Chain A
Amino acid sequence: MDYYNLLTTCAFIHLLVSIPYAYSNYVENKAGQFFSSGHTNNWAVLVCTSRFWFNYRHVANTLSVYRSVKRLGIPDSHIVLMLADDMACNYRNPKPATVFSHKNMELNVYGDDVEVDYRGYEVTVENFLRVLTGRLPPSTPRSKRLLSDDRSNILIYLTGHGGNGFLKFQDSEEISNMELADAFEQMWQKRRYNELLFIIDTCQGASMYERFYSPNLMALASSQVGEDSLSHQPDLAIGVHLMDKYTFYLLEFLEEVHPASQANMNDLFKVCPQSQCVSTPGHRTDLFQRNPGSVLITDFFGSVLLHDMKQLVADVSSQKPKQKDWHPPDGFILGLWTLILLVFFQTYGIKHLKHIF
């Protein structure tokens, strides 16, 4: 019995010694992974382009992405939310100041703390492109600007009615895929983003990203060219369809993600397969430098507010060197286990080996 005690105490000592070693390895890996992505701040531009009460679902789509993005850490000052019409306080809304995403009024995505930056008639193609490229009149307030820099990861989400190569704004004008691609190129040349994730939920959405040509762009769409994106479920009390299928399943996926989650882009590509969505979601990663499997969801949907420490590290290293944590020498662990095994077999003899193997 004494030897069992000895064994357990040796194992305990081993664990005690190796846990800090493993943890520091983990921290170094995490830090390495973080600095390899190269971004220090996150922005989101969420646009709903449809007007009129029967397009309630587009506003609900945008607000559910807004809610997820806020929940994962991006503050209102870094979100530009554009809603082309007011559904929450619309006179036809039987429950004012609410926008629901699930039927039977389960989830109110409008909430109590919402800041809409562009609303109503302000959501136009011109304002959208000005926000992206930063060419706004000098009197524009800060909350309406996209003040990103070359280390920002930007999430752009568009929803509304679209067709092959265009997206309709407010039933009166369109933006074409070429204009969008040129706007992103302007952003690239002005170094306004580090990486950009573009998600679009409209009919024939894949046509909007086929003309992109700037680097570091990843795009997702809810349907391929020639296919329509469908809406999900109507609510009989409100009288309209509440969400689109793709964004509904995207919201369900994002509700599982928390700020420390390790889910990556490959999981995002699998959201809403054809069996659920009826349309085939598409994605485009050829312009993106990193492997999508190594890109975390929180790189775009969450917020990372670390600063560039290179200058600070240079200052610090010129001072007294910091005391590093002590790690036991590598052979020590091996030697310790050999000792434990030797003692064990010496006590019980070799005939007990067959009980182990």
Chain B
Amino acid sequence: MGITAAAARDEFQEELVIRPLHSGDIYASFQFRTLWDTDFLQEGQKVSHYRLFPKSLGQVLSKFSVRELHISFTQGFWRTMQWGQPFIPSPPGAELWVWFHDTVSDVDGNWKELTNVLSGIFCASLNFIDLTNTVQPSASFKPLGLGNATDHRFLRYATLPREIVCTENLTPWKKLLPCGSKAGLAVLLKSEKLFHSSFHSQAVHIRPVCQHKNGLDFAKILDAPSFCIHLCINCYLHLFTEWSLFKMFSRTLTEACPLATSSKVYVDITDNPEGELFELSPATPLLSQAVVLGDRRTYSVFDLTRAETFGQLRSLNLLLRWKGDGGEMLRPLLHAERYVAGFGLQTGEIHTVIYNNHPYRAFPVLLMDSVPWYLQLYIHTLTVTSKSRDNKPSYIHYQPAKDRHRPHLLEMLIQLPPHSMTEVTVQFERALLKWTEYTPDPNHGFYVGSSVVSALVPSMVAMSTNFTQDQPLFSSFVPVKEESSYFVRVYTEPLLVNLPTPDFSMPYNVICLTCTVVAVGYGSFYNLLTRTFQVDEPSLPLAKRLANLIRRIRGVPLLT
């Protein structure tokens, strides 16, 4: 086919969604999406001209034949019960899951190199991802983008619960945006305010999507896909009775990114129809309704591509003043928790509790657990109980761990009865590691990654399956296949488990003791056997020595 002369079409959209919560907290979600009509994986056509799509990631995709890439860095844990469902969930620490193209022959080799390259791009220790913490889920983590192939041999999933997120991860992330952090919504991403939050997550999602022609159902079009890279930052800030963009981010918005086709700020005003809960200024006539996560919500829209949004001062500083105390928040329908039970440093029990808060509908959930090899699970003790009765999962996939080679993988499809709590328990035994395998601070404990609960939750409101251009990004991240349910992924807490830790000064103590015993015991024994005694003449004083010298000359007997 050769290199075509026409430049590939790409477009960039950005948006910020602000959801004020009743306790005075704010959930802010930034989404930046670049859509590009090109195919990295096509033979004979090398992509060399990058405009909006970041070049570093484009080269990674073509070199390692990656179909989908999802990476996220999170600080803090998302409290689903208090804060509701996030738009795009992520577990604490770093999470990376990748679908490779089916032409790849050595997936493990590509995976290892990919993690190293990404650790250089994002300044994170992703090179610690190796076969001992990578799994191949068979049912969870199906591709979010295009593609029929679901052979899970091409999927790799790994998580690093201990990974820290800080400015050094934000800096390269911001460089992936077309406008950088100089224009548009990204000017609000200042690290000092952003990391001063209860929850902060930044993610990159790359997947192939269908090219959407006007009005046609996307399921019918299956030719050359375009690639969509979705960068999002979620953060959750505590604030008081009055907040503004300046107070939250120490910056205001002055212009949209010139390269963006759409740049919008959405503020969730569903709980405030008459204005009795809070007051939003500057007032805007634009309203938008969207069904997101099974709920119909109303948003005030600020369109940054229009000059009148910025008003007289040419800067947009949203102000929100709380007037009254809010009522109850809608309880999320699916929620999960996990904890370790037991005592001592030998055995323990992992409990995973899943709540179904729907009043009358039951639905199945897929639970995926990836436990490191040093917690040796006893699968014969696995029990699943709902409402104090045994609940047998309809599908179980279990891959046992191999010491120092691969972790445990347990996937189960569990039917949750309505309005119930389901508990999954499994007992384990802690292994003793070799002394070089301990981290420099072993008394902190060892982390076990979050469990993932994926489900299609029945929705109260009918969802639209048509994909249109004007839909806000946050409501269209996960493709909706049915009208009556929406896809939800819930991550549980990571576990912190203490392993039996040796005293690392013991080798030194043993060497000292052994050497002392050998020196004192054997040394004295050797001395006793081999020591001989000799009589030694005491040395004469100087005067007598001189006298002896003279006597020797004279030939006279010497003094003693």
Contact = CB atoms under 8 A, between A and B. Distances in A.
B167 interface: yes
A141 B166 contact: no
Interface residues of A, number: 31
Given A144-B120, A172-B440, A121 B164 contact: no
A234 to B, nearest CB: 22
Given A97-B194, A115-B123, A121-B439, A141 B75 contact: no
Nearest to A93: B195
Interface string B111-127: 01100110111011101
B440 A88 contact: no
Contact of A89 (B117, B162, B195): B195
Given A97-B166, A144-B119, 19 more contacts: A88-B166, A88-B167, A89-B164, A89-B167, A95-B196, A96-B196, A97-B195, A112-B171, A113-B171, A114-B168, A115-B168, A116-B123, A119-B125, A120-B164, A121-B440, A139-B116, A141-B117, A141-B120, A171-B440
Contact of A140 (B116, B195, B439): B116
Contacts of B195: 88-89, 96-97
10 tightest CB-CB pairs across the interface, nearest first?
A: A141-B120, A89-B166, A170-B440, A139-B116, A172-B440, A97-B195, A96-B195, A97-B191, A116-B168, A86-B164
A139 B167 contact: no
A96 B197 CA distance: 9
Contacts of A172: 440, 504
Nearest to B193: A97
B121 A141 contact: yes
B196 A121 contact: no
Interface in B72-130: 75, 112-113, 116-117, 119-121, 123-125, 127-128
Contacts of B128: 121-122
A148 interface: no
A115 B162 CA distance: 19
Contacts of A86: 164, 166
Contacts of A170: 440
Contacts of B351: none
B441 interface: yes
Contacts of B165: 89
A292 B62 CA distance: 50
Contacts of A322: none
Given A98-B192, A119-B125, A120-B125, A110 B167 contact: yes
Nearest to A169: B440
B282 interface: no
Interface string B469-512: 00000000000000000000000000000000000100000000
Contact of B112 (A110, A116, A117, A139): A139
A119 B504 CA distance: 23
B172 interface: yes
Given A88-B166, A121-B440, A139-B112, A114 B171 contact: yes
A136 B255 CA distance: 45
B236 to A, nearest CB: 14
A51 interface: yes
Nearest to A145: B120
B190 interface: yes
A231 interface: no
Contacts of B121: 141
Contacts of A121: 125, 128, 439-440
A120 B116 CA distance: 16
Contacts of B162: 120
Contacts of A122: 125, 127-128
Given A51-B440, A139-B112, A112 B119 contact: no
Nearest to B75: A89
A142 interface: yes
28 contacts: A51-B441, A88-B167, A89-B165, A97-B167, A97-B195, A98-B192, A114-B168, A114-B171, A115-B123, A115-B168, A115-B172, A116-B123, A116-B168, A119-B123, A119-B124, A119-B125, A121-B128, A121-B440, A122-B125, A122-B128, A137-B116, A139-B117, A141-B120, A142-B120, A143-B123, A144-B120, A171-B441, A172-B440
B191 to A, nearest CB: 4
Interface string A52-66: 100000000000000
Interface in A260-307: none
B108 to A, nearest CB: 12
Contact of A119 (B120, B168, B171): B168
A141 B59 CA distance: 14
Interface of B: 75, 112-113, 116-117, 119-121, 123-125, 127-128, 162, 164-168, 171-172, 190-192, 194-196, 439-441, 504
Interface in A100-138: 110-117, 119-122, 137
Nearest to B172: A115
A97 B164 CA distance: 12
Contacts of B124: 119
Contacts of B125: 119-122
Contacts of B117: 139, 141
Contacts of A96: 192, 195-196
B55 to A, nearest CB: 14
A120 B165 CA distance: 12
A99 to B, nearest CB: 10
A336 B44 CA distance: 76
Contacts of B164: 86, 89, 119-120
B121 to A, nearest CB: 7
B75, B113, B164, B194: residue with the most chain A Cβ atoms closer than 10 Å: B164
A172 B440 CA distance: 6
Contacts of B504: 172
Interface in A142-161: 142-144
B113 A115 contact: no
Contacts of B75: 89
A143 B441 contact: no
A89 B162 CA distance: 13
Contacts of A115: 123, 168, 171-172
A88 B171 CA distance: 14
Given A139-B117, A141-B116, A112 B127 contact: no
Contacts of A112: 167, 171, 190-191
A290 B191 CA distance: 44
A88 B165 CA distance: 10
A97 B192 contact: yes
Given A51-B441, A89-B75, A141 B168 contact: no
A88 B125 CA distance: 17
A113 B172 CA distance: 9
Contact of A114 (B120, B167, B439, B440): B167
Given A119-B125, A121-B128, A172-B504, A141 B119 contact: yes
A97 B117 CA distance: 25
A135 B124 CA distance: 21
A89 B168 CA distance: 10
A117 B123 contact: yes
Contacts of A110: 167
Interface string A67-111: 000000000000000000010110000011110000000000011
A86 B75 CA distance: 13
Most buried by A among B124, B128, B441: B441
B233 to A, nearest CB: 14
B440 to A, nearest CB: 4
Interface string A166-190: 0000111000000000000000000
Contacts of A143: 120, 123
Nearest to A98: B192
A166 to B, nearest CB: 14
Contacts of B196: 95-97
Contacts of A52: 441
Nearest to B439: A121
Contacts of B191: 97, 112
A120 to B, nearest CB: 6
Most chain A Cβ neighbours within 10 Å, of B120, B124, B439, B440: B440
